[in-house]
Amino acid sequence: MLSIKNLHASVEGKEILKGINLEIKAGEVHAIMGPNGSGKSTLSQVLAGNEAFEVTEGEITLNGDNLLELETEERAREGIFLAFQYPVEIPGVSNLQFLRTAVNAMRQHKGQDEMNAAEFMKLAREISKQVDLDPAFLKRGVNEGFSGGEKKRNEIMQALLLQPKLAILDETDSGLDIDALKVVSDGVNALRAEDRAILMVTHYQRLLNHIVPDYVHVLAGGKIIKSGGRELALELEERGYGWLGIKDEETADSSAN
Amino acid sequence: MATTDTEVNELIKREYEYGFVTDIESDTFEPGLNEDVIARLSGLKKEPEWMLEWRLKAYRRWLEMDEPDWAHVGYPKIDYNSISYYSAPKRPEDMPQSLDEVDPELLKTYEKLGIPLHEREKLAGVAVDAVFDSVSVATTFKEPLAKAGVIFCSISEAIQDYPELVKKYLGSVVPAGDNFFAGLNSAVFSDGTFVYVPKGVRCPMELSTYFRINAANTGQFERTLIIAEDSSYVSYLEGCTAPMRDENQLHAAVVELVALDDAQIKYSTVQNWYPGDEEGKGGIFNFVTKRGAAIGKNSKISWTQVETGSAVTWKYPSCVLRGENSVGEFYSVALTNNYQQADTGTKMIHLGKNTSSTIISKGISAGKSSNAYRGLVKFGPGAEGARNFTQCDSLLIGDRCGAHTFPYIESKNKSAIVEHEATTSKVSDEQMFLCRQRGIEPEQAVSMIVNGFCKEVFKELPMEFAVEAGKLLEVSLEGSVG
């Protein structure tokens, strides 16, 4: 489904990704792990088409189509979804309105009729319950005054609403207490499907106890330095990143972060 | 996203939707202004002698006044003798007695504007007075209103039919000598709207007027007078559009509101005069004086304005809070794009005891435009226990526009309380990225973010017009992202 070949990307002239190769098939769940500053978040942003990052080399294809030629919103409509690490607030725009606009943009792209307010309200209420959010939050401004946990649940709710082909979860576990982690993980597990791939970016192993990945990759210094199965994550937990010979510089970076 | 600014800077290229010219025969005066022109205008309208006297007095006063230059706007000097002061659609007979008699071309114009009079009449329950160039064309719903005792007619008719009311109140809130543009308007106003709501009557429907400038080189000088007697209520909305023309056109209106004891007037404006093209050529100069006198105790005057049009806007809908416990409100959304300039705000003059006022101003600047909020909150010596709350928020789209805030506070009473909050924000790259990542078009994203920013003001608009205002913002912002 997703194929990344020799991907190089930089921000403000500084190269962050230095030749990423990754193949993800439909139905698979991949976890990208690595210390802070290794390029994990950059990879998610580049996949989603954040124009602050410049792709200098390499290619990304989604089901054979060149993703790099598409605008952010076009990629989204082709089924790329990014659950943000720090979802931004949009004051005054109700969550309901925002979500319906997004869902209808997707539906329009697929040639489906737009959902009216009543239909959408019904759907949104059901899904909000699935991630344990009070439906009253639908009327609040987008991420406005949401707690960290609410923001993350809101992101997962959006994934459930938009039903993407590839869901990229950027540090979705950060800032969650154990109960919230359970709710979010249940939401992500509900996303797992034959025709959908999930790419999880995480610093910690603990998320992977709840969402068991098929493959684990270790990203360091802008490259994938090791890939393996579920057991790789456990080994990392036990032995730390130092075990893989990750440079001191990056470890220093990570402590600074 | 590094590109958002360029993106945003390019989103501003949709054309003005209402820029058509209606091909109808008009009677238009030669350009120029002198006492003869005023006499001709007055004669044409068969005005009584006192009205002509009133106009001439205003004109003589105006000749001695200077055009104000303190606003944060710049425009070429206006030659007041190159403007025509009267233009009316030509009619075979006298004024039409019903909509069926109105020139079908004219009705089509209103349909293009989205105001099918017939439909409004039947469905919306909104009474519409439409002013085309200088004259009032049709007033719907006159009869049902009359049953409630509400007078809703053109100011020309009111001068004929209710001279005592007009004499008593015209110029009582905005005197002819108030300012340069009000003086000019007093001399040459050609038509406008008159509303009278008698004691204890709650006006059974929203009243509405649409203004349209059609003829070239013509100024529009409408005059609106609304009087709400004791314990009455009226909600009034005006909308305005104009054709696209390369020359600037002058619009200098005066609106006067009078609220007596326990009366409430809610006045909403959706202003979409032609703003000029992308290079700043053409567009309406909108120099307007609007003021409400909350004379009675417990009276309330509320202004809501959505200003998206005009090349230059100079407008400060104000409240003089004379009555004890009277309330003044000002809710404003002012959007400028391309080369538009707006200097707008309000004046809240607290004279009576325990008077209170609220100012919520939302300024949105895009393109190379300049948007200024200018507000005065004044407490007289008698304003015991008076209070004001002001909130001025500016939203910038792109990096070539400007937002300015000029708040003035004058207090002659120590017990008065003023609160002022101001913020400036930008449509951020992160917000745009979030929206786009969810499949939303950049233009739609900007429009959604801007609408969210304006929410507090839109909720003050009558329902059907809130929708219209939202759409208007969307249109006005087109081309500001790309």
What pLDDT was estimated at residue B10? 45
What integer is the mean pLDDT of B220-224? 88
Residues in A closer than 8 angstroms to B428, CB to CB, are 88
Written as six digits, the tokens of B145 are 């209103």
Full pLDDT tens readout for chain A, 257 residues: 999 999 999 999 999 999 999 999 999 999 999 888 889 999 999 999 999 999 999 999 999 999 999 999 999 999 999 999 999 999 999 999 999 999 999 999 999 999 988 899 999 999 999 888 888 888 899 999 888 888 999 999 999 999 999 999 999 888 888 888 999 999 999 999 999 999 999 988 888 989 999 999 999 999 999 999 999 988 888 888 888 777 534 443 333 33
What pLDDT was estimated at residue B89? 60
B180 Cα to chain A: minimum distance (Å): 39
- Contacts within 8 Å (CB) and 24+ apart, A177-181: A177/A149, A180/A149, A180/A152, A180/A153, A181/A206, A181/A207, A181/A210
Q: What is the phi/psi pair of residue A148, to 5°?
A: -55, -45
B-side interface with A, Cβ within 8 Å? 1-4, 428-431, 433-442, 444, 448-449, 451-456
pLDDT interval class at B238 (50, 70, 90):
confident
What confidence tens digit (pLDDT) does each residue in B311-346 have?
A: 888 899 999 999 999 999 999 998 888 888 888 999
Q: What are the start-end ranges of the H helices in B11-97?
A: 35-44, 49-63
Output the average pLDDT for chain B.
82
A190 Cα to chain B: minimum distance (Å): 20
Buried b (16+ CB within 10 A) or exposed e, A118-138: eebeeebeebbeebbbeeebb
Buried b (16+ CB within 10 A) or exposed e, A88-97: bbbbbbbbbb
Whether the pLDDT of residue B86 is over 70: the answer is yes
What confidence tens digit (pLDDT) does each residue in B289-301 have?
A: 999 999 999 999 9
Residues in B closer than 8 angstroms to A48, CB to CB, are 433, 437
What pLDDT was estimated at residue A186? 92
Residues in B closer than 8 angstroms to A84, CB to CB, are 434, 437
pLDDT interval class at B90 (50, 70, 90):
low
What pLDDT was estimated at residue B310? 79
The one-character DSSP state at B435 is H
A88–B1 CB contact, under 8 Å: no
By Cβ distance, the residue of B428, B429, B439 closest to A102 is B439
Q: Which residue has the higher pLDDT, A160 or B136?
A: A160
Q: Which value does ipTM take for this structure? A: 0.93
Residue A136 near residue A83, CB atoms below 8 Å? no
What confidence tens digit (pLDDT) does each residue in B461-480 have?
A: 877 677 777 777 777 776 66
Beta carbon pairs, A and B, within 8 Å: 81
Residue A165 near residue A79, CB atoms below 8 Å? yes
Residues in B closer than 8 angstroms to A102, CB to CB, are 435, 438-440
pLDDT interval class at B189 (50, 70, 90):
very high
B interface mutation test: which of A14, A101, A140, A158 has the most B CBs within 10 A? A101
What pLDDT was estimated at residue B98? 53
By Cβ distance, the residue of A76, A84, A109 closest to B436 is A76
Write down the residue that tokens 């993800």 correspond to: A24
Q: CA B293 to CA A125: how far, in whole Å?
A: 48
Closest CA to B226 of B145, B166, B273, B147: B166
A-side interface with B, Cβ within 8 Å? 48-52, 71-73, 76-77, 81-82, 84, 87-88, 90-93, 97-98, 101-102, 105-106, 109, 141-142, 158, 162
Residue A90 near residue A143, CB atoms below 8 Å? yes
A interface mutation test: which of B10, B436, B473 has the most A CBs within 10 A? B436
Q: What are the start-end ranges of the H helices in chain A?
A: 40-48, 72-77, 95-109, 117-130, 148-162, 178-191, 207-210, 230-239, 248-256
Written as six digits, the tokens of A69 are 């030629």
Q: Which residue has the higher pLDDT, B86 or B9?
A: B86
